[in-house]
Chains A and B, each alone.
Chain A
């Protein structure tokens, strides 16, 4: 019989040291901890400057909006256990609130965006409230139906401009405000969420995901926590939607389209679910590639559907988990 070997994974020494007070021991340990985060932050801040044309700067904004949505999907799915396939619903609600606020009520852009974020989050939470007790597949299906229902209702009742949408929404005053607003919002939410899930409240969220009955038995109102989580996630999505409206100066039915539901999920699956940074990474990869493929028409949807399928079926851990493992651990073959 051939000699049998297996792969052994051991934490790197520097990770063990950086886990405790020794993290402050030397520059090496400090940079081990901060370098990945710094690369992300500085990279994002430099992106708009490095982009060659206004078109690609626009792509960066769109990427950030998708990343916000992917972040909200990841948070809901992997920290609260609510798999929401309705990212488009959040985008659409935020977009319409911002557009209506801007065109009908005449509110300026620095009021419509907060209004859309908070008000949209509230509306989404209220509408999704009856569905919160649902689990697994049922919640997934019902959230998939929400954006479709909204789109058809707007079309059928011919409200909010019907199929034409709302035009003439004000744009951001200067391009760099647009760029840095979405980038800073994304970075803020990314690090904010990472902190949130490790606070006490994040502990409750994760407990709801693992065993909601046990949480209920300890006298915690799970519906309240689920609603709170949905509010946080939908506010993120609505913020994205509001920015999208102001960037394109238009709100329409296509903002409820399935693109906004499926691409963030694909990004999360590729980037690695449950890492929060993974979905952002996934968006940074997927959205520009999808833009490059725009010339091929709907082939780009085929492309990301195929990538999504491949990752779900064959590589479900995702890039970020893989990368983290390589960063923190080394592998070696040992005899069994």
Chain B
């Protein structure tokens, strides 16, 4: 029962973390290696607004999400747009960006165990005989909601359809009058907002530390690679796969192995089937 309940919680958290990465890559083919940095930035922004500036908690969370979204969009607009299409340069530039942000934050003084956010609601409840605190339940509910809303957004709204059109065929989308640069900007903005959303949901469960940025990046990449880069359904499914695998290894082997599972999942998936479970890439584009 422990495994089932915490597996589901862990899986939903992973899905939340990975959706932003999957969104950006799915739409603009841009591997956003600054994802983890944006996640941590959102956490520290919320902390600064709520704790240091004393603004209402909910309001500061929304502000942090908005600011992170704008930040992501600016990163795209002023930096990444210039190297768009050169995959390796994209990776190096965005990774360097993330590194600069994370280490900058560390230098600025955001380190140690002092930065925490309060959970939304205190207390816990028994679910299937396992004690689960309300906050984790809330994460599951909101996470499932986000996946649903994202699905509706990309399948029903005009912008969502335009984004999907660009993901499927950028040239055809351009021909139909969809401004691909603007859409990629939007995607990067939304992706960063999703990173921020997962940050404000998940960070109250632990401390806000800079190292978390690197772990989040690895987890996001793991989920997206296993699910297939560019496939959102695949990402959600892969989140469950990795989520349960992590919980099972933690129960039977110890918590040291949590990240090993994610990293090995990346390596093994790339070796066996680089397009992942639901990837749409053609075989020859990824391996010889």
**Which residues from chain A sit less than 8 Å from chain B, CB to CB?**
77, 83, 85, 130-131, 133-138, 140-142, 145-146, 148-149, 152-153, 155-156, 212-213, 216, 222, 258, 262, 265-266, 269, 296-299, 301-302, 305-306, 308-309, 312-314, 316
Say yes or no: is B274 at the interface (Cβ < 8 Å to chain A): yes
Q: Is the CB of B287 within 8 A of A137?
A: no
What separation, in Å, do the CA atoms of A237 and B16 have in the docked complex? 38
A141-B225, A156-B260, A312-B92 given as contacts; is B285 within 8 A of A135 (CB)? yes
Say yes or no: is B91 at the interface (Cβ < 8 Å to chain A): yes
Q: Is the CB of B107 within 8 A of A156?
A: no
Q: Which residues on B sit within 8 Å (CB–CB) of A316?
A: 83, 89
Q: Is the CB of B263 within 8 A of A152?
A: yes
Q: Is the CB of B267 within 8 A of A140?
A: no
* Nearest CB of B to A162, in Å: 10
Q: Is the CB of B93 within 8 A of A299?
A: no
Q: Which residues on A sit within 8 Å (CB–CB) of B89?
A: 312-313, 316
**Which residues from chain B sit less than 8 Å from chain A, CB to CB?**
31, 79-80, 82-83, 87-89, 91-93, 95-97, 99-100, 103-104, 106-107, 214, 218, 221, 225, 254, 256-257, 259-260, 263-264, 266-267, 270-271, 274, 285-288
Determine the main DSSP class of A at the interface with B: helix
Q: Is the CB of B99 within 8 A of A301?
A: yes
Q: Which residues on B sit within 8 Å (CB–CB) of A296?
A: 107
Q: Which residues on B sit within 8 Å (CB–CB) of A153?
A: 260
Q: Is the CB of B270 within 8 A of A138?
A: yes
Q: Is the CB of B107 within 8 A of A212?
A: no
Q: Is the CB of B87 within 8 A of A136?
A: yes
A149-B264, A313-B83 given as contacts; is B92 within 8 A of A308 (CB)? yes
Q: Is the CB of B267 within 8 A of A149?
A: yes
Q: Is the CB of B99 within 8 A of A305?
A: yes
A135-B286, A141-B266, A213-B288 given as contacts; is B218 within 8 A of A309 (CB)? no
Q: Is the CB of A265 within 8 A of B286?
A: no
Q: Which residues on A sit within 8 Å (CB–CB) of B260?
A: 149, 152-153, 156
Q: Is the CB of B31 within 8 A of A137?
A: yes
Q: Which of A156, A212, A216 gathers the greatest number of chain B CB atoms within 10 Å? A: A156
Q: What residue in chain B is nearest A149 (Cβ atoms)?
A: B263
Q: What residue in chain B is nearest A265 (Cβ atoms)?
A: B92
Report 13 cross-chain contacts, Cβ distance below 8 Å, ordered by A residue.
A134-B270, A135-B285, A142-B267, A145-B266, A149-B260, A262-B96, A269-B92, A297-B107, A298-B106, A302-B100, A309-B97, A309-B100, A312-B83
A152-B259, A308-B96 given as contacts; is B287 within 8 A of A133 (CB)? yes
Q: Which residues on A sit within 8 Å (CB–CB) of B256?
A: 152, 155-156
Q: Which of B82, B88, B256, B259 gathers the greatest number of chain A CB atoms within 10 Å? A: B88
* Nearest CB of B to A305, in Å: 4
Q: Is the CB of B257 within 8 A of A298?
A: no
Q: Is the CB of B93 within 8 A of A309?
A: yes
Q: Is the CB of A313 within 8 A of B79?
A: yes
A145-B267, A305-B96, A309-B97 given as contacts; is B91 within 8 A of A137 (CB)? yes
What separation, in Å, do the CA atoms of A145 and B288 have in the docked complex? 21
Q: Is the CB of B270 within 8 A of A131?
A: yes
What separation, in Å, do the CA atoms of A314 and B214 have in the docked complex? 26
Q: Which of A301, A305, A314 gathers the greatest number of chain B CB atoms within 10 Å? A: A305
* Nearest CB of B to A79, in Å: 14
* Nearest CB of B to A156, in Å: 4
What separation, in Å, do the CA atoms of A335 and B80 have in the docked complex? 35
What separation, in Å, do the CA atoms of A61 and B172 have in the docked complex? 54
Q: Is the CB of B274 within 8 A of A134?
A: yes
**B82 touches which of A83, A140, A298, A313 (Cβ 8 Å):** A313
Q: Is the CB of A299 within 8 A of B107?
A: yes
* Nearest CB of A to B136, in Å: 25
What separation, in Å, do the CA atoms of A138 and B97 have in the docked complex? 20
Q: Is the CB of B107 within 8 A of A222?
A: no
What separation, in Å, do the CA atoms of A216 and B87 have in the docked complex? 24
Q: Which of A130, A212, A213, A222 gathers the greatest number of chain B CB atoms within 10 Å? A: A130
Q: Which of A131, A137, A266, A296 gathers the greatest number of chain B CB atoms within 10 Å? A: A137
What separation, in Å, do the CA atoms of A283 and B257 have in the docked complex? 35
What separation, in Å, do the CA atoms of A153 and B253 have in the docked complex? 12
Please give 15 more A-B residue pairs, beta carbons under 8 A apart, in addition to A309-B79, A309-B97, A312-B92. A135-B286, A141-B31, A141-B270, A142-B271, A156-B260, A262-B96, A269-B92, A301-B99, A301-B100, A302-B100, A302-B103, A302-B107, A306-B100, A309-B100, A312-B93
Q: Which residues on B sit within 8 Å (CB–CB) of A152?
A: 256, 259-260, 263
Q: Which of A145, A155, A269, A314 gathers the greatest number of chain B CB atoms within 10 Å? A: A145
Q: Is the CB of A141 within 8 A of B221?
A: yes
What separation, in Å, do the CA atoms of A258 and B36 have in the docked complex? 15
What separation, in Å, do the CA atoms of A134 and B275 have in the docked complex? 11
Q: Is the CB of B259 within 8 A of A134?
A: no
* Nearest CB of B to A111, in Å: 32
What separation, in Å, do the CA atoms of A134 and B269 have in the docked complex? 11
Q: Which residues on A sit within 8 Å (CB–CB) of B95?
A: 262
Q: Is the CB of A305 within 8 A of B97?
A: yes
Q: Which residues on A sit within 8 Å (CB–CB) of B88?
A: 77, 83, 136-137, 140
Q: Which residues on A sit within 8 Å (CB–CB) of B285?
A: 135
Q: What residue in chain B is nearest A316 (Cβ atoms)?
A: B89
Q: Which residues on B sit within 8 Å (CB–CB) of A262?
A: 95-96, 99
What separation, in Å, do the CA atoms of A71 and B112 have in the docked complex? 37
What separation, in Å, do the CA atoms of A140 and B87 have in the docked complex? 10
* Nearest CB of B to A257, in Å: 11
